Amino acid sequence: MADSIERRKFLRIASMSMGIGTLYKVAPLLGAGREAHELGVSLKESNGESIAPFTFVQLSDAHVGFSGPPDPLGTKAFEQAVAMVNALPQRPDLVLFTGDLTHDSEVKDEHAKRMRQFQQIAAQLKVPKLVCVPGEHDAGLDGGQLFRESFGPTNYSFDYRGVHFVALDNVSRAKPELGAEQLAWFKKDLARFPKTAPIVVFTHRPLFDLKPEWEWFTSDGDEAMNVLAPYKNVTVLYGHIHRDDEHVIANTHHYAARSLIFAFPDPEKVADKKPIPFDKEHPFKNLGIRVVNHNVKKPPQASSFSIEDVELSLREYSGINGIQQILKPVSL
């Protein structure tokens, strides 16, 4: 396949952060040329499904079962997220939940109860598919046993409309790492795809050293990034840090979702890792809309993403205005 196709960005992901999660719109940019057609055929042969536009939502860090400071709202944000996803005029095709579905408990029955509560709330999502990876609060105490009993494997992959999704578990070993066995599986899983295949990895912790002293890292994340390095269209979605964040490393775009319980501050501005205090006058402070537009006409050396953040107020959340703002069309 020609180098021109190898370098071509044929997938774009525009994201809209709803403060309670992120809506992604995925659209192919193959064009109509012979090489583009060959690439489409190759991907269909590789994963059995043609490339087609679709949307998905990323939610993260509900911490079901958490109570007390810094947030007294419990599952209210999670419930609001479900309601807002269901209100979208273009219903998402799937929801990815990037860990810490629950808050841990050393009492297994209590933790199992929290898992069931998460499932009851999530079951109200009117979407065809919900997929999850564990966070350390879901799997750190028992190596992921309860998570697997409730949700299935902690790492896996699947194909959807020409995009390959990979769930990585960097929490179940009771430390921030993937482990040699999972890394070998990861490499083998990707081996069947052409280097231009669109790949979305979702995990809980960042795969790079974002803030190691705050445990915002994966110890063998560099090895995972080496596996991804040959691929040209890679997006990594994660949670854990309770704030939105974007990094571009080589061909890979990394995005963190805001949490559904409380926020952490910007680590570049504060020394201590302490949650932002709850403000009863502004209970949705630090939640907002993030619009990410991908412009394929920009030169390769420039960032192809433009970002706009809009902070929501309580008034917008409590009335129809907030819904209308969230549903504002994203230019693709």
> Pick from 202, 240, 313, 266: which is nearest to 62 by CA?
240
Write down the pLDDT at residue 91.
79
Write down the pLDDT at residue 89.
73
Q: Is 329 exposed, middle or buried (0-12, 13-18, 19+ CB in 10 A)?
A: exposed
The identity of residue 117, as a single letter, is Q
Please give the model's pTM, rounded to 2 decimal places: 0.82
Write down the pLDDT at residue 79.
84
Longest CA–CA separation in the chain, Å: 60
Write down the pLDDT at residue 311.
37
Number of Cβ within 10 Å of residue 233's Cβ equals 21
Number of Cβ within 10 Å of residue 311's Cβ equals 13
Q: Residue with structure tokens 């012979």?
A: 34
| Architecture in CATH of 3-326 | 4-Layer Sandwich (3.60)
184-192: list long-range contacts, CB under 8 Å, 24+ apart: 185/155, 186/155, 186/224, 186/227, 187/227, 189/157, 190/164, 190/166, 190/227, 190/228, 190/231, 192/46
Write down the pLDDT at residue 43.
63
| pLDDT, averaged in runs of 10, over the chain (332 residues) | 38 64 69 55 64 80 90 82 77 89 92 97 94 97 96 96 93 96 98 89 97 96 97 90 90 88 91 88 54 37 36 35 36 35
